[in-house]
Amino acid sequence: MTESTLFTLAFVLYVCALLVYSVALFAAREKWLKVGFILAAAGFLSHTAALIARTVTSGHAPFTNMYESLSFLSWAIVLALIVFGRSSRVPRLGAILMLIVVGLVALASSPLMPKGATPLVPALQSYWLWLHVSVTLLGEAFFCIAFVSSLLYLGADSVEKKERLDALSYRAVAVGFPLFTLGGLVFGMVWAYRAWGRYWSWDPKEVWSLITWFVFALYLHTRIVMGWKGKRSAIIAIVGFLAALFTYFGVNYLLSGLHSYA
Amino acid sequence: MRSAWKFFASVKLAIVLFIILTLASVLGTLIPQGRSAAEYAARYGSLSGLFMGLRLTGLYQSAWYLAILLLFALNTVVCTISRLAPKWRRAFGPAPETNAKAVSSMRASSRFRLPLPLSAARDRVAERLRSRRYRLDESAQGGSIVLLARKRRLGWFGSDVVHAGLLVILAGGFISGIGGRSSDLSLAEGQTVDVPHAAFQVRLDKFETEYYPQGAVKDWKSTATVLEGGAPVLTRIIEVNHPMTYKGFSFYQTSYGWNWADARLVLEVRKPNDPSFLRTISLKAGERAPVEGADVTHVLVRAFVPDFVIGEGGRIQSRSEEPNNPAAQVEAWKGEERVFSSWIFAKYPDFGQGHGDDPMAGAKPGAKAEAPKLAIILKSYSAAPYSVLEAAKDPGVNLIWIGCLLVSCGFFLAFYWPPREVRVVLEETQGRVELAAGGQAWKNREAFQSEFDSLFESIRRPG
């Protein structure tokens, strides 16, 4: 099967997972949750195959333009859902995450995003491309889990649910923050030094990843040292994800700088 | 002094600084950094003076931003040190006073009797704990034995290692800022230049641009040789992402171009009404060359641009350094009389075969000259390519990598190396041993509970 067939199949499976997760909000939960999870996992497998096919045909990492990186980010979010979502037993989490994934995949497939695999410009020809982008996007996928569980926390009605969502949000940050630091900042600095001769240039994308880092550092300090939990923590996690989203997406379109690739 | 210490030991200060740094950094991405005063004046009008006075236009290098970073560093140092002692005791200190009752009230606990003498019971407990990689500290407290078993003790110091790493990174950044040197070296093939701030030279042996079949640039390759005292000591191919390093300097492929000012052009002079007439002339911009034959005595090239465009006010200029639309302003003379004058285009040979003195005549679309006697074609053009290498010396960079390593290790310790602690009190009564145990983990409590349970099950019923 070709990349686009596999990608479309993944999209269809994600939509099915979204529908089933939505049903689980109202109907007998456990059974539907299981089906939703299986559909999401099947979509994930198909998506993985699509990414591999893309890598083989293009001969480079599958995240060198906006279409590819959106596709990879949605893949990473499903991975984070598979890692965390099953044990969390929060039906709404699955539903909202799948909604985000379907939205991202649809955006990637839209005519706004050129799909052609273009040859790599010299600056991107480095194995640091793999390390820097994949680890950063994985970190951002876990921030996305923290974001959704924090949103659900703000809307939750029972103490027990709130506790579960609060803990889930923290666990997601505990995975996402080290990944983001390593991939976004450390690997980014190493690569910048190899390619441009400077590990830090105060380029808007660099500054925004630092801002994201500050927000999540604030999250951890207020939580661990000052014992903030619940609502205030949830708000910081939401702000942090929005900063990460702006770093990933907004900087490219609103601010100009060195990161003019994707 | 004490109040200053207290001020910097506060986490609240850290939180305020986080927020200030975040907002300041955001501001720096909204105002373009490091542009000219004229550009700011055009963009912000009367506010531009204020912005420049507050250094919002070079925000990340401004004294006030650096001062906040310095405060932040002090805050980190003091916070970390003031919290170190209790953690150190917890991780490495001696076993505290305890008793059976106290350990039984810990989060995980177990209590049973062992039909063994005290020393044999102690050996069995110690052996089991060691097999699970716990480190033991033993003390005798009023006839009973207290075992303090700890593992993953470095996990206590994850955040401290991260903080140390950040301080090292900040120090590296300051050193880079103060001691860093960087300069661009433009080199034609065969050219040798002195490297600024260094006692050696660099020669460009060869420069190539590789293209993809579709035409996009695939790679630039500069073969460069380091010369010390005139003798070659190192030859490397420099590519983007593959710098050459020598004695603390790194050489990066940063740019490239052609020396168009010294371009060699090949012109063909033809007569439309005499197909047998063809003269090929090779010359440079600014030069004149004789032409044998009637109607014309010599041609000269007034100017050459690699990427012809008509700029503001009808001024002809080059859009870029790329040879996208090479054009030459050419004149033909017959003695003292100019018989031909026009811009001619390598890619559009039929365009611009105009007469007259108006240099724009040929460039205007649709401007047809009447029955030209002469046609001059820009057959080919070539200029020596040059490569721009950035020679950079960054004395802070090794600290940056050490700091990054510390931060990464610290994160691992903080999030994935949670310490565990087990306390066991053994008391001998009537030939049997009363065992009371308690345990605590600081993360992943379920996994610890199951380890604790299986540990004491194996002590109670060995084999």
Tell me, what's the pLDDT at A257?
A: 58
- The beta-carbon neighbor of A122 closest among B173, B240, B407 is B240
| Distance from C-alpha of B60 to C-alpha of B65, rounded to nearest angstrom | 6
Tell me, what's the pLDDT at B322?
A: 83
CB contact under 8 A, A122 and B239: yes
DSSP B32: P
Tell me, what's the pLDDT at B367?
A: 41
Mutate which: B240, B394, B408, B446, vs A, most A CBs within 10 A: B240
CB contact under 8 A, B412 and A221: no
Name the maximum alpha-carbon separation found in chain B: 133
Tell me, what's the pLDDT at A209?
A: 96
Mutate which: B12, B17, B19, B25, vs A, most A CBs within 10 A: B25
pLDDT in tens, B187-234: 999 999 999 999 999 999 999 988 888 878 888 999 999 999 889 999
> Would you write out chain B's pLDDT as a tens digit for each of its 463 residues?
788 888 888 889 999 999 999 999 999 998 888 888 888 888 888 888 888 889 888 899 999 999 999 999 999 999 999 999 999 999 998 888 888 888 999 999 999 999 888 889 999 999 999 999 999 999 887 788 999 999 999 999 999 999 999 999 999 999 999 999 999 999 999 999 999 999 999 999 999 988 888 878 888 999 999 999 889 999 999 999 999 999 989 999 988 888 888 889 999 888 877 888 888 889 988 888 888 876 788 899 999 999 998 888 888 888 888 888 899 999 988 888 888 888 999 888 877 655 444 444 444 444 444 446 778 889 999 888 899 999 999 999 999 999 999 999 999 999 999 999 999 999 988 878 999 999 999 888 888 999 999 999 999 887 6
Q: What is this model's ipTM? A: 0.91
Of residues A159, A63, A185, the one with CA closest to residue B165 = A185
- The beta-carbon neighbor of A193 closest among B218, B242, B397 is B397
In the numeric block, which tokens belong to residue B144?
């009973």
- pTM of the full structure: 0.86
Min distance B158 CA to chain A CA atoms (Å): 12
Query: What are residue B26's phi and psi, to 5 degrees?
Result: -60, -45
Number of A to B CB contacts under 8 A, please give it.
102
Report chain B residues whose CB lies below 8 A from the CB of A221.
11, 14-15, 18
Of residues B445, B21, B393, the one with CA closest to residue B178 = B393
User: Up-side HSE of residue B364: CA atoms within 13 Å toward CB?
Assistant: 11
Q: Residue B2: which H helix or E strand, with range?
A: helix B2-8
Q: Which residues does chain A have with pLDDT short of 50?
A: 262
Tell me, what's the pLDDT at A3?
A: 85
| Distance from C-alpha of A122 to C-alpha of B242, rounded to nearest angstrom | 10
| Distance from C-alpha of B167 to C-alpha of A145, rounded to nearest angstrom | 30
Query: What are residue A24's phi and psi, to 5 degrees?
Result: -60, -20
| Cβ–Cβ < 8 Å for B434, B100 | yes
Report chain A residues whose CB lies below 8 A from the CB of B11.
221, 225-226
CB contact under 8 A, A204 and B397: no
Q: Under an 8 Å CB criterion, which residues of A touch B?
A: 118-119, 121-123, 125-126, 128, 174-175, 177-178, 181-182, 185-186, 189-190, 193-200, 202, 204, 207-208, 210-211, 214-215, 217-218, 221-222, 224-226, 251, 255
Residue recorded with tokens 């949750």:
A33
CB contact under 8 A, A215 and B219: no
- The beta-carbon neighbor of B29 closest among A118, A122, A204 is A204
Of residues B403, B394, B296, the one with CA closest to residue B339 = B296
CB contact under 8 A, B219 and A199: no
**3-state secondary structure string across chain A:** CCHHHHHHHHHHHHHHHHHHHHHHCCCCHHHHHHHHHHHHHHHHHHHHHHHHHHHHHHCCCCCCCHHHHHHHHHHHHHHHHHHHHHHHCCHHHHHHHHHHHHHHHHHHHCCCCCCCCCCCCHHHCCCHHHHHHHHHHHHHHHHHHHHHHHHHHHHCCCHHHHHHHHHHHHHHHHHHHHHHHHHHHHHHHHHHHHHHCCCCCCCHHHHHHHHHHHHHHHHHHHHHCCCCCCHHHHHHHHHHHHHHHHHHHHHHHHCCCCCCCC
Tell me, what's the pLDDT at A122?
A: 84
> What is the C-alpha R_g of chain B?
39
Measured between CA atoms, the residue of chain B closest to residue A170 is B415
CA angle at A71 for the pair A105 and A35, rounded to the nearest 5°: 60
In the numeric block, which tokens belong to residue A89?
């037993």
Task: Determine the 3-state secondary structure of B302 from DSSP.
Answer: strand
B342: amino acid identity, one letter:
S
Tell me, what's the pLDDT at B153?
A: 94
Min distance A23 CA to chain B CA atoms (Å): 32
Query: What are residue B195's phi and psi, to 5 degrees?
Result: -85, 120
